[in-house]
Amino acid sequence: MKRPAVRITDVAALAGVSAGTASKALNNTGQLSQDTRERVRRAAAQLGFTPDVRGRALSSGRTFTVALLTTDSSGRFSIPIMRGVEDVLSAGELATVLCDTRDDPLREQSYLRSMVARGVDGIVVTGRRTEPRPPIDVPLPVVYALAASADPADASVIVDDAAGAAAVITHLRTLGRSRIAHVTGPADHRSAVERAYAMSSSTLVGEPLFGEWSEQWGRQATDLVLRAHPDVDAITCGSDQIARGVCDRLRELGRAVPGEIAVTGYDNWPVMALASRPPLTSVDLRLEELGRRAANLLLDAIAGNPHHGVLELPAQLVPRESTLGA
């Protein structure tokens, strides 16, 4: 015999609230306490309640879908951000659609037209660069993640790169390192310049070396650093890729890491940081948390309470063997 479908009134009764309150909790709307929302969600999970998405859409005029628009084709930055976004949106039964523009303005406009036509509830805009980007022009709530909007009235969530770089220098100086060189990516990348500036203001030996975000550049830069400053005792890097190349070259030259020269990366990309020999001390951008904060801002905007301006989130230093030793 087929079991009767679980109704919103069943969820409300188990949670000890009205049907209207239960609906608001599951739709992530209304002025409810977090305790009430959690109690309703636990009741829904216990009963196996599945919302009627089509009914919700018809009654509310919403599609319960959010688009994540990105220029990051590799997914290096957008996938962790999307995980954070989905952590928040899935609790309210919202679906996330990933739109990869591949850095093509025409493709971006095509996606935007399509998302507006589909009636998505809002858009999170992200990418692989941290430079402020032109705002998108759509009649929908929009939040920018990782790269801020060039319009200060828009809501943006970014990482405090300068503080992350400063934490690296503090860490190395605490370990007694005083002859510190810096190797980073292209001079026209905001993230490379910000990290280099924050470190050079702490009196590095020589000028920061700008190049590519690659292991090959890390190996080449190591030779340049050692030629100019043979007594260097630490090399900080603007990315984990560069740092892994530095470690490889130092090992080839018979220089112990961190015994003779400590090495740090940036981004805390597990593929690089953990596979390096030795594993890298790095700065975690906390991209999932960035995605969660962006999603919460978007939900507020969808509910009619938009935020404005730039929110900077702290990065987190993750010490490992490349500075601490075994």
| Predicted local confidence at residue 25, as pLDDT | 80
Please state, in angstroms and rounded to a whole number, the distance separating the CA atoms of residues 88 and 206.
45
Cα–Cα distance measured from residue 102 to residue 121, given in angstroms and rounded to the nearest whole number: 23
Q: 165 and 316 in contact (C-beta within 8 Å)?
A: no
| Paired tokens of 2 | 């087929």
pLDDT of residue 47: 83
Which DSSP string do the residues of 109-144 spell out, in sequence order? Answer: HHHHHHHHHHT-SEEEEE-S--S-BPPP--SS-EEE
Amino acid at 326: A
Q: Looking at residues 269-288, what average pLDDT do you find?
A: 96
pLDDT tens sequence across 231-241: 999 999 999 99
pLDDT mean over 69-87: 91
Q: How confident is the model at residue 59 (pLDDT cuts 50, 70, 90)?
A: very low
pLDDT, residue 291, reads: 95
For residues 96 and 124, give the distance between their C-alpha atoms in angstroms, rounded to a whole number.
10
State the distance between the two ends of the chain, measured CA to CA, in whole angstroms. Answer: 63
Q: What is the mean pLDDT of residues 139-164?
A: 96
Summarize the confidence of residues 100-129 as an average pLDDT. 94
- pLDDT for 23-47, tens place per residue? 778 766 667 888 888 888 888 888 8
In whole angstroms, what is the distance from residue 146 CA to residue 129 CA? 8
pLDDT of 53 above 60: no
- Outline where 145-286 has alpha helix (H): 161-174, 190-200, 215-228, 240-252, 270-273
Instruction: Please report the pLDDT score of residue 45 as a whole number.
Output: 82
